[in-house]
Amino acid sequence: MIPMVDLKTQYLQLKSEIDAALFAALESTQFILGPNVSSFEEEAAGYLGAPYAVSCASGTDALHLAVLAAGIGPGDEVITTPFTFIATAEAICYAGATPVYVDIDPRSFNIDPALIEAAITPRTKAIIPVHIFGQPADMAAIEAICIKHDLMLIEDCAQSFGASIDGRMTGSIGRLGCFSFFPSKNLGCYGDGGMVTCATEVMAEQVKVLRNHGSRVRYHHHIIGYNSRLDEIQAAILRVKLRRIDDFNTGRRRVAKLYSELLGDLVTVPHEDGKGVHVYHQYTVLTDRRDAIMAKLSEKQIASAVYYPIPLHKQDVFAEKCSGVSLPIAESVAGRCMSLPVYPEMPEESVRIVAQTIKGAIVG
């Protein structure tokens, strides 16, 4: 059996350190907004090269709080990609704003900067590129558009912790960056968790107030906020794992490189343009033989998955508002994409078995 991810192997490798950090956090009985949270925020900001980092309860909340801190509200439009997890769009809708979808680049699966300007209206307030599957979006081009049209740039980095482009870490490029620490993400905790990186102290302060009931001083509330904090136990675990993030991502890139060597003639393998460092949250290929390949893999007890089968403009929840919207690349990719098992500790032998099975399904 080959799973999509294997969290157990990593835990066992780090068990003594993680258990010690966890029990120390329990022993301290400081469970909310204690020393692990503030240290983790400093360490993560340092790693990413971001001026400020404020943790919160999930990646979805990170996006929500970032959208609010960007001053986005009812009547505003936010340009984003249709080829992402629903949370990117949910956050825009929570703020009362409207997601506007722009088609993707067929090679990177990220929002296509060449199509963005045509979607800008007087109501447009921000662009949220998603570094999908760990592949950085074309940030130089998107940044130039944001400057030209005075738009906020918010990065969805839920799948890209440690990825970089032109020497800059994702999450340090936009005004705000949103991270998820869901267990299977590149940097994952053992529950839900998230973080917002901020370019300015004012926005970091705003996210801090929003995550903690609209309060700067205890029992003094000047805005309506939320209860969205990373807890000390998760922060303690994340501090141990942050020290290994480069090794984790190197492990993922090793798996991806071998897959691409073995599968290059059989399916369309992930594109690397040399500018960005892809951290392979997913290893996703394109093929017209998806059903046959997935059936064969499943027969051999090898996991595979379709991320994502339906682009957001085709989801029931947006179908009515997006009835006239046609985004042919996203629609075509959604019909032909499939993701293969990838995790830092994946044995070379497993990668070879997956590739061999795919070859068997195509060549016979």
Alpha helices (H) along the chain: 7-28, 35-48, 59-69, 87-94, 139-149, 201-211, 232-242, 245-263, 290-299, 316-319, 328-336, 348-363
Looking up tokens 């801190």 gives: 69
- Least distance to ligand PLP from the beta carbon of 228, Å? 11
What is the token pair recorded at 287? 């093929």
How long is the chain? 364
Residue number of the CB closest to ligand PLP reads 59
Nearer to ligand PLP, 184 or 215 (CB): 184
With the C-alpha atoms ordered 43, 44, 48, 50, is the resulting torsion angle positive or negative? negative
CB of 7 to ligand PLP, least distance (A): 15
**Minimum separation from the CB atom of position 51 to ligand PLP (A):** 22
User: Could you tell me the smallest distance in angstroms from the CB atom of residue 218 to ligand PLP?
Assistant: 27
In terms of CB distance, is 151 or 230 closer to ligand PLP? 230
Nearer to ligand PLP, 50 or 358 (CB): 50
Contact 134, 160 (CB under 8 A): yes
Query: In this complex, which beta carbon is closest to ligand PLP, that of residue 21 or of residue 312?
Result: 312
How many Å apart are CA 229 and CA 169, to the nearest integer? 24
Q: Which is nearer to ligand PLP, 66 or 358 (CB)?
A: 66
Determine how many CB atoms are found less than 10 A away from the CB of residue 308. 21
* Chain residues in the site for ligand PLP (CB under 6 A): 58-60, 84-85, 87-88, 130, 156, 158-159, 180, 182, 192, 194
Least separation, in Å, of the C-beta of 34 and ligand PLP? Answer: 21
For ligand PLP, give the closer residue by CB, 86 or 266. 86
Indicate the Cα dihedral angle 173, 176, 182, 183, nearest 10°: 30
In the complex, what is the shortest distance from the CB of residue 86 to ligand PLP, in angstroms, rounded to a whole number?
Answer: 8
What are the strands of the beta sheet with 164-165, ordered from one edge?
168-169, 164-165, 276-277
